[in-house]
């Protein structure tokens, strides 16, 4: 199967599976699942197939740095969302992502420093999120039939578009754009529109926890793609990412149980 076919088959399959899981287990778990690189992982894989390990490793390093931009999106959306409908918070979140990407593109930082900044940034973002408010659980709202198919189509278009432009953008900028919160924005806006700003905040808190696995995945890829080859590097990255993700899920579920929040509440 060529890379074009892989893009059309793999991307919607991953996004559809995550959407179904988020719908089954609630907005926080839906946000947590977004931490897995459902779009940026395939982007890096397809670029490795098309342009080689060196190009893809640079993309992976840029994507790791771009984790900070996702954290900025979460904070900007969550703090703007209180008492408002979704359009303004979404605009604030996307502006925050764009501003962070603009700054990161112009910085020349060593890889070790980037790793330290990303880790510190995720911890700070979690601590800086608005405090969860106690709200009465509500019945999951009815969802339109086109919900999940639309998510799958939009995500696939994004992957095809970004990989097609990668040679012109260069690996560093491609990496910074790969974590664009396309899927996170969809989940958050749907949660906000259907169940209120607190549901959106749950998605974003789950996303921030999931981003530790996202960062671990791309850290391993950036370090190993040139040394181990594509199969071994992606295998190691997936293993590390899933191990971190399992730990963050335990933290997420433990926090929900301590607050008495049902896990299956609303759409993810």
Per residue in 127-180, pLDDT tens?
999 876 655 555 555 566 666 777 777 777 877 778 788 888 898 999 999 888
What is the pTM for the complete model shown? 0.80
**Mean local confidence (pLDDT), 39-62:** 89
Q: For residue 224, is pLDDT > 70?
A: yes
Q: Is residue 173 included in any domain, yes or no? A: yes
Q: Of residues 149 and 18, which shows the higher confidence score?
A: 149
Q: Is residue 265 included in any domain, yes or no? A: no
pLDDT at position 131 is 77
Q: Of residues 217 and 109, which shows the higher confidence score?
A: 217
Q: Of residues 90 and 209, which shows the higher confidence score?
A: 90
Q: Is residue 131 included in any domain, yes or no? A: yes
Q: Is residue 264 included in any domain, yes or no? A: no
Domain count, the chain: 1
> How many angstroms separate the CA atoms of 229 and 234, rounded?
9
pLDDT at position 25 is 64
Residues in the chain: 268
Name the phi and psi angles at 141, rounded to 5. Answer: -75, 155
pLDDT at position 63 is 94
Asked if residue 263 lies in contact with residue 242, where contact means CB atoms within 8 angstroms, the answer is no
Mean of per-residue pLDDT scores for the chain: 80
**Mean local confidence (pLDDT), 32-61:** 84
> How many angstroms separate the CA atoms of 21 and 19, rounded?
5
> How many angstroms separate the CA atoms of 54 and 56, rounded?
5
Structural domain containing residue 204: 3-259
Q: For residue 246, is pLDDT > 70?
A: yes
């Amino acid at each position: 199967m060529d890379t074009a076919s892989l893009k059309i088959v793999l991307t919607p399959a991953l996004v559809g599976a995550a959407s179904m899981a988020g719908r089954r287990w609630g907005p926080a778990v839906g946000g947590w699942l977004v931490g897995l690189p459902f779009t940026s992982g395939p982007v890096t894989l397809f670029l490795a197939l098309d342009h080689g390990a060196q190009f893809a490793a640079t993309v992976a390093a840029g994507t790791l740095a771009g984790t900070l931009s996702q954290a900025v999106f979460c904070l900007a959306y969550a703090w703007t969302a209180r008492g408002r409908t979704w359009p303004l918070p979404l605009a604030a979140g996307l502006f925050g992502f764009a501003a962070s990407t603009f700054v990161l593109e112009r910085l020349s930082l060593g890889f070790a420093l980037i790793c330290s900044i990303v880790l510190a940034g995720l911890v700070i973002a979690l601590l800086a999120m608005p405090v969860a408010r106690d709200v009465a659980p509500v019945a999951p709202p009815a969802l339109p039939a086109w919900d999940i198919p639309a998510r799958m189509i939009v995500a696939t278009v994004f992957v095809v578009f970004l990989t097609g432009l990668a040679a012109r953008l260069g690996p560093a900028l491609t990496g910074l754009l790969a974590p664009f919160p396309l899927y996170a924005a969809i989940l958050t806006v749907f949660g906000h529109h259907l169940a209120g700003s607190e549901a959106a905040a749950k998605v974003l808190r789950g996303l921030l926890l999931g981003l530790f696995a996202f960062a671990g995945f791309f850290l391993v890829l950036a370090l190993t793609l040139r040394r181990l080859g594509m199969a071994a590097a992606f295998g190691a990255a997936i293993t590390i990412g899933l191990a971190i993700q399992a730990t963050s899920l335990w933290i997420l579920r433990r926090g929900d149980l301590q607050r008495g929040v049902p896990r299956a509440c609303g759409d993810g």
